[in-house]
Structure 1
Amino acid sequence: MKKVKYILNPTFLSKLMMALAIVLTFVAIMVVVTHRGGTIISQHEPAECKTVVVVASGDTLGKILMAQGLNNNDVNTIADILKKDAGISTLRAGSDKIEFVRADEESPVSKIVLVPSPWKQVELTCAENGGWNCNTVDIERDTRAIYKSGEIQNGDSFYLAGIRAGIPAGVLIDVYDLLAFEMDFERDIRAGQHFSVLYEENFSGGEKIDNGRVLAVQFEALRGNVKMYRFKKSDGTSGYYDENGNGAIKSLKRTPINNAKVTSSFSTKRKHPVLGFTRAHKGVDFRASTGTPIPAAGAGRVVARGFNRGHGNYIKIRHNGSYETLYAHMSKFAKGVVVGTAVRQGQTIGYVGSTGLSTGPHLHYEVIKNGTHVNPLTVKLPAISNLGDKDKAKFLEYRKVLDNGMETLSRNPNLFIQM
């Protein structure tokens, strides 16, 4: 079983380090270093001259290089090397920085340093023959697993409760997308429910750079606890699985539009709001503003697109031999989405509207299984990928490691797991 290394949280450590720094500074001031009978105030080699240029709007690589004294031949050579060896062809205004190094203020540029991403540094050094050599350096990454937990309060959405718990917005979006395969966030959220998330934070040189992947999620849902874990299989691919090793990513999403309120549920008998008589409502209606993008609930191929009196503008997608989905009352179709188009899960296929028999803008969403309409919010959906026996055994052991880690961190908020 994998061993877990627990380390004090950097916020807690920083307070200790600050106190220690004050003491050490005082000691350093009091120490006088002598050498050969004299006092050495400082002793160092002449420093290189470094100039850092922040790319501004309208800047080009050539413009920046020539402003630093490089000629046209150097500019063309450097541009070719960066594109070929480092994959850099454009610069980002406001975020990209270029460092120019000289032996002294009067010397020509001898080295150029670019950092195109937090984890990669590109160094160009001037060769003796006047050419340029390129070296790409991977910046050391310090990854830490961070634990956060929270509770749903009256009037909360999951997002608001997560923000209050200190979970970064980007991480919450990833968690939402995972849980959406098992939960209806409009109906399954109640005050008093608890949730917890284990996710990565990436550091370089002690400074946080960004958030990483979600490692584990636990949520006390109405229909039972939902648990999901990220696991790397023996073939090198990674995915999310429930506590029993079943694939957490389903072939279809229950609610195509995130955070959309259910205004009418699946029913065999419902009084139609326009027609006035009772008939089956074969899907679920989600309220949303006109023009809201409608994502495909799953990967598949468009088998119908058109207009009829009831559905208005609609699209039907076949996902495999068993499942089809239908999206109705669209204001318009997405560009390029026609009959025969292959779509991926989450791809925009159209936009919310109120065409056909409709009293206001909403999405009418249907799921058809083997020719029979089923309730999108309760139907058991197939997983995209499940684990084989060998991987499943390893997963169950790894799940115990994550569960134990989350339990330990829940009792010790000043700790994190060193990955």
Structure 2
Amino acid sequence: MRRNRLIRSNRKKSLSLLDRFLDIKTLLAFSVLMVLFFQQQTNHIVQAEHLEPAPAINQPNTFTKQHLNPLGSSLIHNDIITSEDSDTSVQSIKPEYNIETLLPVYHWQSVTIKKGDSLSSIFQHVGLLAYDLQSILKLNKDSINPLLNLKPEQTIHIAIRQLDSGKNLLEGLQLSIDNINTFYLERIEAGYHAEIITQTIDVKQRLVRNNISSSLFSAGSEAGLTDKTIMELAYIFGWDIDFAHDLRGGDQFKLIYEQHYLDGRYIGDGDILAAEVVNQGKTYRAVRFTDEEGKSDYYSPQGESMKKAFTRTPVPLSRISSRFNPNRRHPILKTRRPHRGVDYAAKTGTPIIATGDGKVHFIGNKGGYGRTVILSHSGRYTTLYAHMSRYRRGLRKGKKVKQGQVIGYIGSSGLATGPHLHYEFRVNGIHRNPLTVALPKATPLPKKYHQSFQETALPLLAQFTSPSPTQLAQR
């Protein structure tokens, strides 16, 4: 019996030692696992401090595209509103975007752009490293164009995350481009993502009419039109009417155009939808039409293009100071020299537009012409623009230009008594009077669009003859 008790006692001791051994083994295994875990976390922190692309952080305050535009494309929805001016129902899109949805978990710094600033100098100013700049510059240039073309007085807002090492990591930035467009950059797992978000606006139609007593510009300003809208009106009818010298007493205009509002605040004018000008007893009408490819242009009620291959004048809102005259006496040289063009007087710096599509044949100083641009149009036609104060930036020989595109600015370079543009029009090298030369027509509206065009045009044109009250010479 004693022997059996001794055996059982030894067996209990053996089991107790075995249990202790297993407990120690478990503890050692757990310790090894904890060492490996902390080593992994340490490596992760070190990598972050060396500015390797950081993975997305799974926390509710992460700077993400959802916070920039949490509703995505579903943000846009259509309502119908009524214009306070013309009682015309138009499509409207109400803004719901709220910049406050950008979460404040990061340290935000705002920098106002000054002349000479660049993205590099701004990053240095806020303590960001060159690594972030290099990562951004690897993106498609078109996608980061607003950052590459910073303008004075713009404000850039920068979201910065401070690492334990004291270094700053760029998480995102925001740059307002204009009233409705904002550029955003955000950190993602693979680097950075850039996009432009456009806030939607309310669009209202406004019908305005006024008599033209002295000039289109003064009549338009009196009616509350912006300079942009007046210039657009002059351009639409510029192939048929020379607003510098064709206006007469009794002339008048009417137009329906868009006004843009953001959060109930007027932010600018949109496109002219339809317009009418009565000049010397003749009525001209134009309607804007957009085809299925998204191309917009102006057409007469019959579907004829308002465009011709050339406009009559390269400076729509100016006055003619000297006409085409083969026997004119030169005002400076005091000799009889042919004046083979038309002079348009305007203040220095007034934009000069190309009267037709073409290519720059010559740009530079040309004797008495001063700073001059000569455009070639399909080989047969050439136009000359002289006495400029300066050329449009980037214009050079061989560059293509579009009709209506600014090519330079009014000046008095060369032999000139004051600021004006000397404009010449040549056909097969022979000078022609720019005011009377027959201009080739542009392509009319394709027949497949005629029905759709009429559906657009008729309701708009009906407002011009409607007896309903409209605004006259007031905003």
Settle same-fold status: TM greater than 0.5: yes
2:186 is aligned with what amino acid? L
Using the alignment, how far apart are the partners of 2:345 and 2:265 within structure 1? 43
1:157 aligns with 2:218: no
Using the alignment, how far apart are the partners of 2:366 and 2:120 within structure 1? 54
Structure 1 segment 188-207 matched on structure 2, within 5 A: 188-207=246-265
- Over 3 Å counting, the alpha-carbon distance change for 1:219 and 1:6 in structure 2 is farther
1:338-386 superposed Cα distances (whole Å, 9 cap, x missing partner): 7x8866545349965675xx99886554545578765433444223332
Using the alignment, how far apart are the partners of 1:48 and 1:314 within structure 2? 57
Aligned to 1:53: 110
1:397 to 450, 455, 459: 455
Verify the 8 A CA contact 2:348 2:389 in the aligned structure 1: no
Aligned to 1:124: 186
Structure 1 segment 237-276 matched on structure 2, within 5 A: 237-265=295-323, 272-273=328-329
After alignment, is 213-222 or 273-282 more displaced?
A: 273-282
2:377 is aligned with what amino acid? H
Aligned length: 363
- Over 3 Å counting, the alpha-carbon distance change for 1:52 and 1:398 in structure 2 is farther
Verify the 8 A CA contact 2:256 2:275 in the aligned structure 1: yes
Task: Give me the CA root mean square deviation.
Answer: 5.1
Deviation at 1:167, TM superposition (A): 1.0
Using the alignment, how far apart are the partners of 2:224 and 2:212 within structure 1? 15
2:241 is aligned with what amino acid? M
What's the secondary structure of 1:401's corresponding residue?
helix
Verify the 8 A CA contact 1:50 1:102 in the aligned structure 2: yes
Deviation at 1:264, TM superposition (A): 4.7
Aligned to 1:168: 226
Using the alignment, how far apart are the partners of 1:412 and 1:143 within structure 2? 21
Aligned to 2:174: 114
Aligned to 1:9: 84
Verify the 8 A CA contact 2:388 2:411 in the aligned structure 1: yes
Verify the 8 A CA contact 1:264 1:285 in the aligned structure 2: yes
Deviation at 1:7, TM superposition (A): 1.1
Aligned to 2:201: 142
1:387 to 445, 450, 457: 445
Name the one with the larger strand percent. Answer: 1
- Over 3 Å counting, the alpha-carbon distance change for 1:304 and 1:98 in structure 2 is closer
Radius of gyration: which is bigger?
Answer: 2
Using the alignment, how far apart are the partners of 1:84 and 1:214 within structure 2? 30
Structure 1 segment 59-138 matched on structure 2, within 5 A: 60-61=118-119, 64=122, 73-74=131-132, 76-77=134-135, 80=138, 86-90=144-148, 91-98=150-157, 100=159, 112-117=172-177, 118-125=180-187, 134=193, 136=195, 138=197
What is the percent sequence identity of the aligned residues?
A: 26
Verify the 8 A CA contact 1:147 1:409 in the aligned structure 2: no
Using the alignment, how far apart are the partners of 1:184 and 1:266 within structure 2? 15
2:296 is aligned with what amino acid? S
Using the alignment, how far apart are the partners of 2:112 and 2:371 within structure 1? 47
- Over 3 Å counting, the alpha-carbon distance change for 1:303 and 1:5 in structure 2 is same
- Over 3 Å counting, the alpha-carbon distance change for 1:299 and 1:134 in structure 2 is closer
Aligned to 2:11: none
Verify the 8 A CA contact 2:376 2:383 in the aligned structure 1: yes
1:273 is aligned with what amino acid? R
1:51-85 superposed Cα distances (whole Å, 9 cap, x missing partner): 45142326554565566675554554456559685
Deviation at 1:95, TM superposition (A): 1.8
Using the alignment, how far apart are the partners of 1:211 and 1:374 within structure 2? 38
